[in-house]
Chains A and B, each alone.
Chain A
């Protein structure tokens, strides 16, 4: 049983992991071969060493960024899903609010992040709002699409039976939208990590984004790489969690 699991794991992740290991080896060889200075491109080993040396500092920064990311992500769902339901339910909102939401997606979030700082201040909440500003769109847009993507014949069938709006919503539209909701959520969760880093770049005194800024200014390039690795690991872990939830909550939407 355990063996089969290991084989399944390797079947799914073996190739990318091997490729990654190969790239790290090539990277290591290149830094040694061409004697690239550490401030320009540190070797993977140097990155590991720095992470180990500053290991005691990392958890608090990881915790701050993770908290901002998860809080912003959850807030995006809490705001995005009811908004999507309202947009689908009300033709007026569909004509007024929805186009504005779609258009607002083109606003560069890095550019509005300073506004949150001005309005809300230096604390964690301004970062959470930056996360919401990036993670919220895919959730709203995909949930709206999912709620409307019900086959017209099916809607006709329940209309003939005089189903109430609530029945149609609970028994058909809501479950039908789940796969779309999850594909939006999977995009949103990776964007959320970017959002919290943007928020920290604009102004903060803790978090992984702050750590990158400080390390960069000190030409501690190895640390920058190390934090980047932690950020990607965080993004991947959150993605895997959301995907796992999808498998549990709507197994019909996941490939056989």
Chain B
């Protein structure tokens, strides 16, 4: 579905120095696959998402979506960020329907779908409330409903649970897994949490610090649903350890390298 070939992105920072954000990225994501990208901060994970969706152009290489080069932005995509970025002057329902309005479709026609999504997210009672009457976890669930309202084929999630407390975070991960199994979608999910990556992903793609490269692409062969870490046994811990060692090895390299 998505194919990045030899993608590099270089930009000029405000003081005129060239910054190599990404270098030689080759990445393929198949239809209905759940791919998680992990890596140290500043390795260009978010930049990668912007390239996929067409918000940024690569300096070199090509980005293909469903066999065609990405030129304009891909409209059939849902985006979820670390912060829910809900509009405080709209109700929860109004926020969920925002993409419909922007696409100039009839919001009334999507009201049943919005109601269904909110029910799935456990927010039915809050449809007419404003975002600030909701807890952080509920706001993020509303943001997920907003991303799903167009029933997009692709879901891009940029550290969506990073701002939540640990308990809510686990719960949201479970809910996302369940949702993904119910309505098959392609998901590209960026996170800092290694265990989250292993729990959610079909594949975990590990990136190096800047310039971001893909250093390993690990298929996760754990059975689903992965609700209980205990049932997954030592295989789960093995994956987590493998990725953790990889990421720590960068840290060593960076600390050993002379300052630029």
Contacts and interface: CB of A to CB of B under 8 A. Distances in A.
B73 A175 contact: no
A175 B102 contact: no
Given A158-B102, A167-B102, A175 B81 contact: no
A172 B73 CA distance: 19
Number of contact residues on B: which range applies?
A: 20 to 34
A160 B73 contact: yes
Contacts, number: 56
Task: Tell me whether chain B's interface is mostly helix, strand or loop, or mixed.
Answer: loop
Contacts of A176: 87
A154 B102 CA distance: 13
Q: Most chain-B Cβ atoms within 10 A of its Cβ — which of A157, A171, A250?
A: A157
B102 A163 contact: yes
Interface in B84-102: 85, 87-89, 98-99, 101-102
A160 B77 contact: yes
B130 A252 contact: yes
Q: Most chain-A Cβ atoms within 10 A of its Cβ — which of B53, B75, B89, B99?
A: B89
A175 B89 contact: yes
Interface in B104-144: 130, 132
Contacts of A250: 89
B83 A162 contact: no
A156 B79 contact: yes
B60 interface: no
B74 A160 contact: yes
Contact of B81 (A153, A252, A253): A153
A160 B79 contact: yes
B75 A162 contact: yes
Interface string A230-256: 000000000000000000001011001
Interface string A136-173: 00000000000000010110111111110001000110
Given A153-B81, A156-B79, A171-B98, A161 B54 contact: no
Interface string A25-59: 00000000000000000000000000000000000
B72 interface: yes
B75 A157 contact: no
B73 A157 contact: no
Nearest to A172: B87
Contacts of A153: 79, 81-83, 85, 158
12 contacts: A151-B83, A157-B85, A160-B54, A160-B55, A160-B74, A161-B102, A161-B103, A163-B102, A167-B101, A167-B102, A171-B101, A172-B87
A-B CB proximity, top 4 nearest: A252-B88, A154-B85, A153-B81, A161-B102
